[in-house]
Amino acid sequence: MIEVRRARAGDVRAIRALVEPLTATRVLVAKDAVAYYESLQQFRVVEDDGRVVGCGALHVMWEDLAEVRTLAVHPSASGQGVGSQLLEALLDDARDLGIKRVFCLTFEVDFFSRHGFEPIDGRAVEPEVYAELLRSYDEGVAEFLDLERVKPNTLGNTRMLRTL
């Protein structure tokens, strides 16, 4: 039985196990365990017969903007719609929060395109918001802003946006 649910503290080890192979190949950015615990409330997981086979997070960046992060599916569950179910749950979370636009930075352009995301170029926010976001210490925000200092982390990735 597949279930998409909010992540719990006990899921962090499974989330890290899902993400680790993707960080080893630089598809996802590596994070310390403490970062997963600190952002746990942002995560949803997909559980199949008691085993976590997918994870993803929604990180709010501004009043109308959030980012889908750390979307990962175990290879054994790939191609079964797990990623789509997870992404739709995160988009529902965004709607519940009153978010109007959702960003992602991805190598999986076709997957996100099928879900209504479109590539973006340049600034996707007004100058005043851009100036405020520059104050963030979050690397994901820096990636959204397309800052030069994060270019080595984003090589080959596509910045994409969906309006809800």
Q: What is the mean pLDDT of each run of 10 residues along the chain (164 residues)?
A: 95 97 89 95 96 97 93 95 97 98 94 97 79 79 73 72 96
pLDDT of residue 84: 97
Could you tell me the end-to-end alpha-carbon distance of the chain, in angstroms, rounded to an integer? 29
Q: For the whole model, what pTM was predicted?
A: 0.89
CATH class of domain segment(s) 2-163: alpha beta
* C-alpha to C-alpha distance for 164 and 148, rounded to whole angstroms: 29
- The CA distance from 103 to 119, in Å, is 10
Q: Hey, where are the domains in the chain? A: 2-163
3-state secondary structure of 94: helix
- Cα–Cα distance for residue pair 158/149, rounded to 1 Å: 16
Task: Report the alpha-carbon angle 90-92-95, nearest 5.
Answer: 115
